[in-house]
Amino acid sequence: MKKTGVLLLISAPSGGGKTTVCSSILAVNPRLRRVITCTTRKPRSGEVNGVDYHFLEMADFERGLAAGEFLESALVYGNRYGTLRSSVVDVLRAGFDVLLNIDVQGAASIRAAAAADAELGAALVTVFLTPGTMQELEGRLRGRGSEAEEVVARRLAAAPGEVAESQYFHYLVVSGTREEDLRRVQSIYEAEQVRLHRVHLDFGGLG
């Protein structure tokens, strides 16, 4: 039996819990791999090129953009960030599944790319994770205690628009505890692995 890989994309409003659930699901699924994204910012203390990010010069990044090598990219405070198509496809073709932890803007770009690319389209599974209320989201953001008030206010102002994007995802998960979020996303991942179009049987032409 052969399987077509899963490209599991998880998005959320800031404070929605996607980083936590991504770390949790990676820890319990050896078949699932995180794609290393690219950035033009300088490495922070302890960061390693090719492990945390692919650190690129701006000119190299922009050449890749012009050549259509990125599935998605964003300019954030003067630095570019992006996901190379080759990074995703190489992992899928090696027989593994791919996990992307990405914002709603990047998710929209990847959905568009998958709509025009049969290989990515067959693999893509999108999950939107969010607390059930704005009050809960605000509590999580303020509970971090690591961001200035103006940053929290900006993230809260963006949240309704981000949550509205959930209608374009395959699955909506209302965030609860860490354990509940992992269980729900894990169930989606396991179900998607055995979707009929991903499983190829060798029974004399069947599959």
In a domain, 69, yes or no: no
Q: What is the mean pLDDT of residues 11-22?
A: 88
Cβ-Cβ contacts under 8 Å for 121 (sequence gap 6 or more)? 114, 115
The C-alpha atoms of residue 196 and residue 104 are separated, in whole angstroms, by: 28
Q: Is residue 177 part of a domain?
A: yes
Q: Is residue 144 part of a domain?
A: yes
The answer to whether residue 85 is domain-embedded is: no
Statement: residue 72 has pLDDT above 70: yes
User: Please, what is the average pLDDT of the chain?
Assistant: 90
Decide which of 68 and 78 is more confident. Answer: 68
Tell me the pairing of strands 97-101 and 7-11: parallel
- Cα separation, 88 vs 56, in Å, equals 18
Q: Quote the pLDDT of residue 192.
A: 95
* Per-residue pLDDT, 145: 67
pLDDT digits (tens, 9 = 90+) for 108-136: 999 999 999 999 999 999 999 999 888 88
Task: Identify the band that residue 40 occupies on the pLDDT scale cut at 50, 70 and 90.
Answer: very high
Query: Confidence band (pLDDT; 50, 70, 90) for 205?
Result: low
Does any domain span residue 206? no
Provide DSSP, 6-51: -EEEEE-STTSSHHHHHHHHHHH-TTEEEPPPEE-SPPPTT--BTT
Cα angle 99, 105, 107 (rounded to 5 degrees) comes to 30
Identify the CATH number of the domain in which residue 116 sits: 3.40.50.300
The yes-or-no verdict on residue 207 having pLDDT over 60 is: no
- Over residues 162-204, the pLDDT tens digits come to 999 999 999 999 999 999 999 999 999 999 999 988 887 777 6
Determine, yes or no, domain membership for 185: yes
Full residue range of the structural domain in which residue 27 is found: 2-35+95-200
Confirm whether 57 is domain-assigned.
no
